[in-house]
Amino acid sequence: MSVFTGSAVAIVTPFTEEKQVNYTAFAKLIEFQIEKGTDAIVVCGTTGEASTLTHEEHLDCIRFCVEKVAGRVPVIAGTGSNCTETAIYLTEEADRAGADAFLVVTPYYNKATQKGLIAHFSAIAACTEKPVILYNVPSRTGCNIKPETAAFLFKNVKNIVGVKEASGDLSAVAEIMARTEGKMDVYSGNDDQVIPVMSLGGKGVISVLANVAPAETHEMAASYLRGDVDKARQLQVDYFFLIKALFKEVNPIPVKKALNLMGLEAGSLRSPLTEMEPETAAVLEQEMKKMNLL
């Protein structure tokens, strides 16, 4: 059984003006997501600025999210690292905290060969009995999971069940599905490719857009899953320019700006990320107004 189908939000981590985790705002964001129909919450991923959290903050955010969600939707904890032992530690602790599954990114900076990726992901998966979803985002990590590697891990490691594919390569998605007979759970990691990925057998999206438009992102995926392809395709097209605006600067700079414009108190960013430039912020605000989000 899939960890989830539909739309999972890659939720932001809100900070105070002093750049501490704002748990009051975090609780409100979690409730907003659940009220609007989000199918799962991914905590401490790229959008959650996990790379700037201390290990203690990282795990506290996971514990907090699990507690607030209280079983209403699956909580998927981002527990990846470029160090295998660190990823194992984070995964073990997130498992104890009650996370339902784990999203594990490829090693960044030091990278790895395909053999190294198999060893890395296999060791992490071995420390838990819960599902593991691979996260392939070579534009950020400089490390790509080849389709044959994803398929090998799926076939040989019982709790590696899926992959968040953010390479933008639809041929790679098709090859993963072909090599696993359509059995591996593939999720779009790009909001502008939700329906293309689902048309190849994908189960949904792990979404940045869902932070600001959770109901609409849920409906995009849900429409496709219930067979209303025309509605799903139209939603994908309708939100194209907002999605583009949400990536005018590196994620999560724009989405935090968008949430703040909506009064949802995402707060500031941690260095080295900086506030959105006025000209790109103006484009974002214009697109949000077009989609009636402001």
248 lies in some domain: no
Which structural domain, as residue segments, surrounds residue 215? 6-226
104 lies in some domain: yes
> Percent of the chain at pLDDT above 70?
100
The tens digit of pLDDT for each residue in 177-205 reads: 999 999 999 999 999 999 999 999 999 99
Question: Average pLDDT of 130-150?
Answer: 97
194 lies in some domain: yes
Residue 116 is predicted with a pLDDT of 98
Question: Average pLDDT of 270-284?
Answer: 97
260 lies in some domain: no
Residue 1 is predicted with a pLDDT of 83
Q: What share of the chain is helix, strand, coil (3-state, %, to 5)?
A: 50, 15, 40
Phi, psi of 162 (to 5 degrees): -160, 180
Residue 217 is predicted with a pLDDT of 98
Alpha-carbon distance of 232 to 282, in angstroms, equals: 28
Q: Are 78 and 140 in contact (CB under 8 A)?
A: no
162 lies in some domain: yes
Catalytic (active-site) positions? 135, 164
278 lies in some domain: no
Question: Average pLDDT of 18-23?
Answer: 97
Residue 265 is predicted with a pLDDT of 95
Q: In this model, does residue 241 exceed pLDDT 90?
A: yes
Number of domains in the chain: 1
| CATH at 195 | 3.20.20.70
284 lies in some domain: no
- Mean pLDDT score of the chain, rounded to an integer? 98
172 lies in some domain: yes
Classify the phi-psi angles of 74: left when phi > 0, otherwise alpha if psi is within -120 to 50, otherwise beta. Answer: beta
The tens digit of pLDDT for each residue in 56-98 reads: 999 999 999 999 999 999 999 999 999 999 999 999 999 999 9
Task: Provide the 10 A C-beta neighbour count for residue 76.
Answer: 30
